[in-house]
């Protein structure tokens, strides 16, 4: 009998010890102060942007002495895996960051709080960016930054090859011609880099007059003739004209590193490279609006702050989100760190953004906004992208023709992805 009692009491102790570990929710600090958890992937700790973010938080805490912010930055590669387990367990941070592509999935799963009424004055926000985080009429978040992709070019290589610098009138043809001249400068010098990824493909399709979905986003149109032509040309940069290095040519080197090493004439990449290139390019460089084929099309990337549906302090959380995303103070810090574009319309902020060089042609960033195409979005975003990229790989490796691959891709998307 005694042992039974021992067993029972031991079991009870263990249960009591383990139980708190399973109870969800954040612990409250001292009375009166609210502690908010903030998690994000953009702005790594060690760089200028991390510093800017800490500055923004310090300013927010100064203005709101009763709110404390606990920041955690997690690398992009691991961010969404850990976010998912936290959301499922009910332990998501009060405010967390989502990119545009993942926003729809989380909004549709009911993981986000409706912040429509908590945002206050949103007139300072850029409307396109703000509307991107409105799902079925409900505002679930605020854009904290947006950015696009431009054509970066190495002025030194253009000078050496006696070439005129790229202009906003350039098309794919001009890129190919210039690339060949740049490559004739020497071995291991490449003309152009623009990988055939999902993001480059949907934009490339648009630049050739095509699209991956119909306008209402109710059906896939992946195998349109314009798309097939676009993808053939893009794969040809690596396989036919060879103006672009293959993975094997790169031998593990990243595209940014290749550009910084001075061996790449032109690179299509995001304006978030400004800070790194300014600090690490030992040559002059500039930017231009990205060339299209039959028309121009540019990327729209946007990240947002959303409030977790499980947050105990949604009002304070929304206040933090709006401050970090849209306040003048935060936007100023963001601009000074060359950390993407603040999604705001304050003229003085925009002016100060434009006055920073390099690149000299910073206006191209804003000029590019005229040609924005938003990516195809589905609740099964990651799966959709993986399916499309698997077929792009088939085309690149020459295993399937562009037409056969995109026909098969269209079929698989129709079978597996619900729109």
Partner 1 sequence: MWHGLLGHASGGLMSIQGRRGIRVALPYLLPSLLGALLFAILPIIISLLLSVTNWSGMSRIRLTDGFLKFVAEHFVGLENTKAILADSEFWRALSHNLYFVVLYLPLMLVLSMICALIINAPNRGANVYRVVYYLPVLTSWVAGSLIWKWLLSPVYGPINNFLAIIGIEGPLWLQSEVWAMPSIVLASIWKDMGFYAMILLGGLKSINTEYYEAARIDGASKAQMFARITLPLLSSVLFYVSMLSMINAFQLFPQVMVMTKDGNAGPNGATMVMVERIYKYAFRYGKMGYAAAYSWILFVIIMAFTYIQKRGEKRWVNYDV
**Which residues contact partner 1 by CB under 8 A?**
3-4, 6-7, 10-11, 14, 18, 80-81, 84-85, 87-90, 105-106, 109-111, 247-248, 251-252, 309-310, 379-380, 382-383, 386, 389-390, 393-394, 397, 399
| Residue for token pair 């434009």 | 354
Length of the chain, in residues: 419
Toward partner 1, which CB reaches closer, 42 or 102? 102
Q: What are phi and psi of 267, to 5 degrees?
A: -135, 130
**Which one, of 166, 409, 162, lies nearest residue 285 by Cα?**
166
Toward partner 1, which CB reaches closer, 124 or 141? 141
What counts of helices (H) and strands (E) characterise the chain? 18, 13
The answer for residues whose C-beta is within 8 angstroms of residue 326's C-beta and 6 or more apart is 122, 124, 125, 142, 342, 343, 344
> Is-contact 141 321, C-beta < 8 A?
yes
Toward partner 1, which CB reaches closer, 7 or 354? 7
For residue 72, what are the β-bridge partners?
39
Q: What are phi and psi of 123, to 5 degrees?
A: -65, -20
Reading the block at residue 221, the tokens are 């149109």
Distance from C-alpha of 339 to C-alpha of 350, rounded to nearest angstrom: 13
Reading the block at residue 203, the tokens are 């934009």
> Is-contact 113 142, C-beta < 8 A?
no
Q: State whether residue 297 is helix, strand or coil.
A: coil
**Which one, of 37, 32, 71, 36, lies nearest residue 55 by Cα?**
71
Contacts 24+ apart (CB under 8 A), 210-219: 211/373, 211/376, 212/376, 212/388, 213/376, 213/419, 217/376, 217/377, 217/419, 218/419, 219/419
Distance from C-alpha of 159 to C-alpha of 185, rounded to nearest angstrom: 11
Alpha helices in 90-154 (DSSP H): 100-108, 127-131
| Residue for token pair 């060690």 | 46
* Shortest distance (Å) from residue 397 CB to partner 1: 6
DSSP state letter for 213: B
């Amino acid at each position: 009998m005694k042992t039974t009692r021992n067993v029972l009491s031991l079991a009870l102790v263990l249960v009591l010890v383990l139980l708190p570990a399973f109870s969800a929710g954040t612990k409250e600090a001292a009375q009166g102060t609210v502690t908010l958890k903030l998690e994000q992937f953009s702005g790594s700790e060690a760089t200028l942007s991390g510093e800017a973010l800490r500055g923004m938080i310090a300013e927010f805490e100064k203005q709101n002495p009763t709110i404390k912010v606990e920041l955690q930055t997690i690398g992009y590669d691991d961010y969404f895996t850990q976010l998912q387990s936290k959301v499922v367990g009910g332990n998501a941070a009060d405010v967390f960051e989502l990119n545009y592509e993942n926003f729809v999935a989380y909004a549709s799963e009911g993981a986000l709080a409706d912040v429509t009424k908590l945002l206050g004055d949103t007139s300072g926000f850029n409307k396109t960016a703000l509307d991107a985080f409105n799902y079925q009429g409900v505002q679930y978040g605020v854009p904290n930054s947006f950015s696009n992709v431009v054509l970066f070019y190495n002025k030194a290589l253009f000078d050496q090859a006696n070439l005129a610098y790229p202009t906003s009138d350039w098309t794919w043809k001009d890129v190919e011609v210039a690339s060949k001249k740049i490559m004739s400068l020497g071995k291991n010098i490449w003309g152009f880099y623009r990988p055939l990824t999902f993001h480059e493909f949907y934009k490339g399709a648009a630049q050739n007059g095509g699209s991956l979905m119909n306008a209402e986003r109710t059906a896939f149109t992946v195998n349109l003739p314009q798309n097939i032509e676009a993808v053939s040309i893009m794969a040809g940069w690596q396989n036919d004209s060879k103006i672009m290095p293959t993975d094997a040519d790169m031998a593990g080197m990243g595209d940014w590193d290749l550009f910084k090493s001075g061996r790449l004439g032109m690179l299509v990449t995001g304006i978030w490279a400004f800070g790194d290139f300014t600090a690490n390019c030992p040559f002059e460089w500039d930017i231009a609006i990205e060339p299209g084929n039959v028309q121009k099309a540019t990327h729209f990337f946007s990240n947002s702050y959303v409030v977790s549906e499980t947050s105990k302090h949604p009002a304070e959380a929304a206040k933090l989100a709006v401050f970090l995303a849209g306040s003048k103070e935060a936007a100023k810090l963001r601009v000074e760190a060359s950390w993407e574009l603040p999604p705001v319309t304050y003229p003085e902020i925009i002016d100060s953004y434009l006055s920073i060089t390099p690149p000299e042609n910073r206006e191209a960033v804003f000029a590019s906004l005229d040609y924005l195409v938003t990516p195809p979005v589905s609740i099964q975003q990651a799966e959709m992208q993986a399916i499309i990229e698997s077929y792009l790989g088939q085309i690149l490796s020459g295993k399937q023709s562009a037409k056969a691959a995109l026909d098969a891709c269209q079929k698989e998307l129709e079978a597996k992805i619900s729109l």
